[in-house]
């Protein structure tokens, strides 16, 4: 049997987050977009009411959400503001490698802090000259006794420079390609860790994105994740689980653009009737709504496959690809429906359009998603 019915618990959490978004996020989203400040008051409130730490295991005080529930909640948060949603859920990406490859001892040492206070974590893969070609990274970790010495610069890092824990991917052996990459857990206050350039972005502005610089950082051998050389696989396995949440965020952005457009089409009058009464607009709304539903279906498929432990990288890639593209299309259409007003900051749709663009870029560009999907189809 196939069902899109939410469980009582999922519905309850969806209602709770929807209420939080309406009361706490939507009223301040434009201001965070303007200032580009980290939304600490919202994160602190989320922590206080127990809605923080989506994927932190329950044994460490986290919510330990399944992926379907996570997708439902990310859609709601991103309906309110993509940047705030990214700041809220940035830890999920950074914690996933330790959940995949961390030993019990490593998890016991690193994870309890996340339930004690709303501290941050960051996933450090991308570098200035290694974006889509993640294996082309220059950051290196050289063995020194039982420790490693880490040197390099990571860029475009969510929570970069303000995190308590970094999951860092670095070359431990040159000339071995993807098999020469290892993953490490690094404390935010370790000597030699610093914040580089803080990015000033087109959209997604409430999410803090910065460079992280590692300069002769001593990493104890006990903080190597998995085996030496397993880092690239750990990074890919992480993205296989997290790309669906970008799809869910895209659905939230697109649904908001659709709802704003429906409301506007009902109230804006031209040529003697509400613009929704003109087929030029009503057919656009019909197409936008169809795209939102189709994207959500693909996100839920990807999420439920992960929950069923059938992890097929193509589903995460497909839903990120499809939902990211429809978010861009739907938000552009929303601006068009709003006409001149849509281009002004008085209405939220211009922000939605600026926000949507990043959904086609981060956690792998749309072109990388096609590489993943076609690679599987042809393998």
Active-site residues, by number, are: 363
Cβ contact 68:300 at 8 Å:
yes
364 binds ligand COS (CB under 6 A): yes
Q: Which among 3-11, 105-113, 229-237, 283-291 is the span making contact with ligand COS, rule CB under 6 A? A: 229-237
Give 366's Cβ-side CA count (13 Å radius).
15
User: 296 near 319, Cβ under 8 Å?
Assistant: no
Does position 372 interact with ligand COS (CB under 6 A)? The reply is: yes
How far is it, in rounded angstroms, from Cα 56 to Cα 14?
Answer: 19
Contact string (CB under 6 A) for ligand COS, positions 233-252, x = contact:
x--xx-xx------------
Q: Confirm if 338 and 264 have CB atoms less than 8 A apart.
A: yes
Give the residue from 62, 129, 73 showing the smallest Cα distance to 96.
Answer: 62
Q: Taking CB under 6 A as the rule, does residue 231 contact ligand COS?
A: no
With beta carbons less than 8 A apart as the criterion, state whether 84 and 10 touch.
Answer: no
**Contact flags string 312-331 toward ligand COS, x per CB under 6 A:** -x------------------
List the x/- string, 147-186, binding to ligand COS by CB under 6 A: -------------------------------x--------
- Secondary structure (DSSP) of 258-320: HHHHHHHHHH-EETTEEGGGSHHHHHHHHHHHHHHHHHHHHHHHHHHHHHTT---HHHHHHHH
* Of the residues 91, 126, 163, 207, which one makes contact with ligand COS according to CB under 6 A: 126
For ligand COS, the closer of residues 237 and 331 by Cβ is 237
Distance of closest approach, residue 6 Cβ to ligand COS, in angstroms? 28
By beta-carbon proximity to ligand COS, the closer residue of 55 and 261 is 55
**Which residue intervals of 51-195 are DSSP H helices?**
67-80, 82-101, 104-110, 113-116
What residues numbered 35-74 form the site for ligand COS, per CB under 6 A?
none
* The binder of ligand COS chosen from 134, 262, 295, 352 (CB under 6 A): 134
- Binding residues for ligand COS, rule: CB under 6 A, are 125-126, 132, 134-135, 178, 232-233, 236-237, 239-240, 313, 362-364, 368, 371-372
């Amino acid at each position: 049997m196939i069902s899109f019915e939410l469980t009582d618990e999922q519905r309850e959490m969806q209602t709770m987050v929807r209420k939080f978004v309406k009361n706490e996020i939507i009223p301040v989203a434009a201001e965070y977009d303007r200032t580009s400040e980290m939304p600490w008051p919202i994160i602190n409130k989320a922590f206080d009411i127990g809605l923080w730490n989506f994927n932190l295991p329950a044994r460490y005080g986290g919510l330990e959400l399944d992926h379907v529930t996570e997708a439902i909640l990310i859609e709601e948060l991103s309906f309110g503001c993509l940047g705030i949603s990214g700041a809220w859920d940035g830890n999920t990406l950074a914690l996933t490698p330790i959940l995949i490859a961390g030993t019990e001892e490593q998890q016991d040492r690193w994870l309890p802090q996340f339930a004690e206070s709303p501290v941050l974590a960051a996933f450090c893969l991308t570098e200035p000259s290694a974006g889509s070609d993640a294996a082309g990274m220059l950051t290196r970790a050289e063995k020194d006794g039982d420790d490693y010495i880490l040197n390099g610069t990571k860029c475009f890092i969510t929570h970069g420079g303000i995190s308590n824990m970094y999951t860092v991917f670095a070359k431990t052996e040159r000339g071995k390609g993807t098999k020469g990459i290892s993953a490490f857990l690094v404390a935010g206050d370790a000597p030699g860790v610093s914040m580089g350039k803080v990015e000033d972005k087109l959209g997604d502005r409430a999410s803090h994105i910065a460079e992280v610089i590692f300069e002769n950082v001593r990493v104890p051998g006990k903080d190597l994740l998995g085996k030496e050389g397993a880092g690239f696989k750990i990074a890919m396995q992480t993205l296989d689980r997290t790309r669906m949440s970008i799809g869910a965020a895209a659905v939230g952005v697109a649904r908001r653009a659709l709802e704003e457009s429906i409301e506007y089409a009902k109230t804006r009058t031209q040529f003697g009737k509400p613009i929704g009464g003109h087929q030029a607009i009503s057919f656009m709304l019909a197409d936008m709504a169809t795209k939102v539903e189709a994207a959500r279906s693909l996100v839920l498929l990807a999420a439920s496959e992960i929950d069923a432990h059938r992890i097929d990288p193509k589903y995460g890639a497909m839903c990120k690809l499809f939902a990211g593209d429809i978010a861009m299309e739907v938000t552009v259409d929303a601006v068009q429906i709003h006409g001149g007003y849509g281009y002004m900051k008085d209405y939220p749709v211009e922000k939605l359009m600026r926000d949507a663009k990043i959904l086609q870029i981060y956690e792998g560009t749309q072109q990388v998603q096609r590489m993943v999907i076609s690679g599987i189809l042809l393998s």
